[in-house]
């Protein structure tokens, strides 16, 4: 049985449904992420699991038991708040000890527990500091230690890395993965940063306007988004309006107006005559001079823009029918920022099993 089960949960604020008919389950030991744009209901969902809000409809079960009647303070679920929410009048050690004291632990047990928790987040030397004496990253660690010290069944994290700068954020991501593995506590993590979600999670649920659009492992989600919203929200993607010309078990033959034929891998249940979009990631599009490409899907165009970002350069290519396509190329030669200039005639091409058809 899954550790956490969310069954058809709905929460309304007036006429607005912040969360609507959401269902999913989280297995013990999982790192589960809720990903979505601002205002899509992630925090609302977390607050219902924590017990700060009650669902208008649906059930939330932990270990198979309905949490409906259990107040927040009696749920074996802790939260790491985006603002950290450390108690400003308590030292780091006292902050961490709070949970153990509330659980009625002996002073000796509390002391040992705090010490272990501090070691887990590498803050042994900060035990007697007050929160205002810590850096953002250190506060973050205290909040984590405080949430984990009594080993909850579930740790909820609401954009815990949102306030950190990019470098620290990456460091904390790596630590978070390690920590979760070491302590074995199930994480439900909220973020609107898709890269963070891909880097950290075992599974991701993409939310939009109170609904879950798709739920899958990171690589699956990235490679096979169910619809345009997910495709666009996770990473960059090229989209072409197409009509299905032929659908066989082996491949899909699509026509893009003014461009010609595209061969794509076949999803289930697509029939000839349907219209939709063909989606392909920039890194799957090869770009080259006319001769060096040997791929089935091949089009010519003109480079109209490029963006150098260090490791790679993104080229914007205008195809013959006027459609723009983005292609990514690694900068393999030292000191060279681009391989093509604006105005160059190039060929863009991709494998017949790359990209896929979306009907919505």
Partner 1 sequence: MRNKWLWVASVFVYAFLYLPLVIVIAYSFNDSRLNAEWVGFTLHWYQVLLNDEQMLRAALNSLLIACTASGIATVLGTMAGIAIHRYKLKLLPVLVITPVAMPEILLGVSLLLFFIQVLNLTLGMLSVLIAHITFCIGFVAIIVRARLAGMDESIFEAARDLGATPWQTFRLVTLPLILPGVIAGALMAFTLSIDDFVITFFTAGVGVATLPLQIYSMIKIAVTPEVNAVSTLLMMLTLGMIVIASRISPEAIKGNA
Q: Among 23, 57, 65, 74, which residue interacts with partner 1 (rule: CB under 8 A)?
A: 74
User: Considering Cα of 217, then 223, then 225, then 231, what sign does the dihedral take?
Assistant: positive
Contact call for residue 191 and Mg ion (CB under 5 A)? no
Q: Does residue 139 touch partner 1 according to CB under 8 A?
A: no
> Within 10 A of 108 (CB to CB), how many other CB atoms are there?
8
Q: Which stretch binds Mg ion (CB under 5 A): 35-43, 107-115, 171-179, 302-310?
A: 35-43
CB-count exposure of residue 7 (10 Å: 0-12, 13-18, 19+): middle
Of 35 and 242, nearer to ligand ATP (C-beta) is 35
Q: Which does residue 308 bind out of Mg ion, partner 1, ligand ATP, none, counting CB within 5 to 8 angstroms by kind? A: none
43 forms part of the interface with Mg ion (CB under 5 A) = yes
Tell me 53's DSSP state: S
For position 205 contacting ligand ATP by CB under 6 A, the verdict is no
Region binding ligand ATP by CB under 6 A among candidate stretches 12-20, 89-97, 146-154, 314-322 = 12-20
Name residues contacting ligand ATP, limited to 13-52 (CB under 6 A): 13, 16, 18, 36, 38-44
d(CA 59, CA 63): 13
Q: Is 267 within 8 Å of 296 (Cβ atoms)?
A: no
The string of DSSP codes covering 78-139 is: EEE-TT----TTS-HHHHHHHHHHHTT--HHHHHHHHHHHHHHTT-GGGTT--GGGS-HHHH
Shortest Å, Cβ 221 to ligand ATP: 18
Q: Contact between 130 and partner 1 (CB under 8 A)?
A: no
Q: Does 78 bind partner 1 (CB under 8 A)?
A: yes
Burial class (CB within 10 angstroms; exposed 0-12, middle 13-18, buried 19+) of 274:
middle
The least distance separating partner 1 from the CB of residue 104, rounded to whole angstroms, comes to: 9
Q: Which residues bind ligand ATP (CB under 6 A)?
A: 13, 16, 18, 36, 38-44, 192
Q: Where does this chain bind partner 1 (CB under 8 A)?
A: 50-52, 71-74, 77-79, 81-83, 85-89, 98-99, 102-103, 146-147, 150
């Amino acid at each position: 049985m899954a550790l956490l089960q969310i069954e058809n949960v709905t929460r309304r604020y007036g006429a607005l449904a912040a969360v609507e008919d959401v269902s999913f389950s989280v297995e013990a030991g999982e790192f589960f992420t809720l990903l979505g744009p601002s205002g899509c209901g992630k925090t609302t969902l977390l607050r219902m699991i924590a017990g700060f809000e009650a669902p208008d409809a649906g059930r939330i079960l932990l270990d198979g038991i309905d949490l409906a009647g259990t107040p927040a303070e009696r749920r074996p679920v802790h939260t790491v708040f985006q603002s950290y929410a450390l108690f400003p009048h308590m030292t780091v050690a006292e902050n961490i000890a709070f949970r153990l004291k509330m659980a009625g632990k002996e002073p000796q047990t509390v002391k040992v527990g705090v010490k272990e928790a501090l070691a887990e987040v590498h803050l042994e030397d900060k035990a007697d500091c007050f929160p205002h004496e810590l850096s953002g990253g250190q506060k973050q660690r205290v909040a984590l230690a405080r949430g984990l010290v009594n080993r909850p069944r579930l740790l909820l994290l609401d954009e815990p890395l949102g306030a950190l700068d990019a470098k620290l954020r990456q460091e904390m991501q790596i630590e978070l993965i390690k920590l979760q593995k070491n302590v074995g506590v199930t994480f439900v993590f909220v973020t609107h940063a898709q890269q963070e979600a891909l880097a950290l999670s075992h599974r991701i649920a993409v939310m939009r306007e109170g609904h879950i659009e798709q739920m899958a492992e990171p690589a699956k989600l990235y490679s096979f988004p169910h619809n345009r919203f997910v495709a666009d929200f996770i990473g960059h993607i090229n989209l072409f309006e197409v009509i299905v010309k032929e659908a066989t078990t082996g491949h899909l033959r699509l026509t893009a107006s003014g461009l010609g034929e595209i061969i794509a891998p076949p999803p289930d249940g697509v029939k000839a005559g349907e219209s939709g979009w063909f989606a392909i990631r920039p890194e799957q599009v090869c770009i080259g001079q006319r001769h060096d490409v040997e791929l089935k899907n091949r089009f010519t165009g003109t480079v109209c823009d490029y963006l150098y970002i260090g490791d790679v350069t993104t080229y914007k290519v205008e195809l013959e029918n006027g459609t723009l396509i983005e292609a990514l190329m690694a900068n393999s030669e030292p000191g060279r920022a681009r391989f093509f200039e604006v105005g160059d005639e190039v060929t863009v091409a991709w494998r017949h099993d790359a990209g896929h058809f979306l009907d919505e």
